Amino acid sequence: MKKRINIALVTLIIFFHQSLPAQILGPGVKRILFLGNSITWAGNYVNDVEAYLRVQYPGRELEFINTGLSSETVSGLSEPGHAGGSFPRPDLHERLARVLEQTKPDLVFACYGMNDGIYMPFDKDRFQKFKDGINRLHIEVEKKGAKIIHLTPPVYDELKGKSIGYAAVLDRYADWLLSKRQAKWDVVDIHYPMKKYLLAHRKVDAQFGLDGFALAQDGVHPGEVGHWIMAREILLYLGFKEVARSPGIVESLKQIEDAPQYVKLIAQRQNMMRDAWLTATKHKRPGLPVGLPLEEAQSKSAGLLVKIDSLINKASPVLKPAKSAVQK
């Protein structure tokens, strides 16, 4: 009897993990929005997620919208003299209503925290502002009928950055977000996998007398490896266990004959559409590129999607190409 119960339990666990992508990426999900700061604006992890999911769902109308904004916080805080005193950090909540109204997402990924402690020692009032901002974001997205998945903040590297003690601040921010799983929030942990990878590789470097390995040369903005760890953890959370040991997005797309070109096209389209969406939703941060008018960008996007679909269909010729998910 006990053996039967154990088998049933294992079967239930396997079913749960296999059905997780279907639960989160069900047929009602068409528009996937990414919110965040400059790490999201850079977009590598967004591109990696899109590149992988398009191959998994070649017949689906999926639109991946990146509206990450450099320097932004969810807390509304800004340090004195930010950007040489030329402008304060943007506050997500100044633009959130416009972004949600225009993009009409079904699913939202949000990555905040890196800027929210404003690179200073831990302070309970700043921490509370972060928590208040995240809670407000969560409520506003759900009020629009969309599902939100939070990402813990990326790791801060004190060896490369200038803010001593800030890594521990982001540990606390990450821990609080992870605690929200108890309230049945969807939270993807990218913080601790990045930290584990960083420390393990730095330990190896130390054994050989090499300069410290870095995911982010400035301590903040990860390179391609760091972005892949972020994307990988998202994909793992969605149930795609096969990416667990993949060293990068190209290696995870073995079924695509020309994976580097495929990823390049994804990035080209995303960069164009990101700038168009940011301009259309009227962000207020100076110094960013002005995007094309949205309709013009969508027209160009449709042409790029034809090329993207053609590479997918060489790998899956029996499947119909995904339709161009042009915003109506």
What is the DSSP code string of 142-174?
HHTT-EEEEEPPPPP-TTTSS-TTHHHHHHHHH
CATH number of 29-315: 3.40.50.1110
Chain-centroid distance of CA 31 in Å reads: 14
Check residue 113 and give its pLDDT: 98
Q: Strand locations in the chain, DSSP E?
A: 31-36, 63-66, 107-111, 147-151, 186-188
Prediction pTM value: 0.90
Instruction: Give me the helices (H) in 124-258, please.
Output: 124-143, 166-179, 191-207, 224-237
- Between the alpha carbon of residue 259 and those of residues 27, 251, 284, the distances in Å are 26, 8, 36
What confidence category does residue 18 fall into, taking pLDDT thresholds of 50, 70 and 90?
A: very low
Q: Which DSSP symbol is given to 216? A: -
* Dist. CA 62–CA 73, nearest whole Å: 28
Reported as a single tens digit per residue, the pLDDT across 273-286 is 999 999 999 999 99
Residue 6 confidence (pLDDT) above 70:
no
CB atoms within 10 A of CB 216: 21
- Between the alpha carbon of residue 180 and those of residues 150, 186, 214, 296, the distances in Å are 10, 8, 30, 41
Reported as a single tens digit per residue, the pLDDT across 225-237 is 999 999 999 999 9
Check residue 281 and give its pLDDT: 98
Residue 325 confidence (pLDDT) above 50:
no
Average pLDDT score over residue span 205-210: 82
Check residue 210 and give its pLDDT: 79
